[in-house]
Structure 1
């Protein structure tokens, strides 16, 4: 499913209630969150989630990143 399709899919929508950072060993959770383009209270937006993933991975601080 492409990003445009995801925005129209009824499974997506609502508000981001929380962000839980797991698996980080040397980087503080707040540092990880500072790279994200979404935060609790924001509307769920698959494009911003995808861009957040790419932005975090581009830091080269992590071997793997998933959202």
Structure 2
């Protein structure tokens, strides 16, 4: 998520979802992609928030 508050006092939110195939898990590829995206966002004056998940889903009724 990137946040820009400089545009005439308005709040701008941009969400980016990075999804890496399960076959690549544990190789650090997902972490590298997220870190690179955050680095780019920060150099452009944005704030980056990272949320890690296990990829497991549960449905409750």
Q: Shorter-chain TM-score: what band?
A: 0.3 to 0.5
TM-score normalized with structure 2 length: 0.38
Q: Kindly indicate which of the two structures has a greater share of residues assigned to strand.
A: 2
Q: Highest Rg: 1 or 2?
A: 2
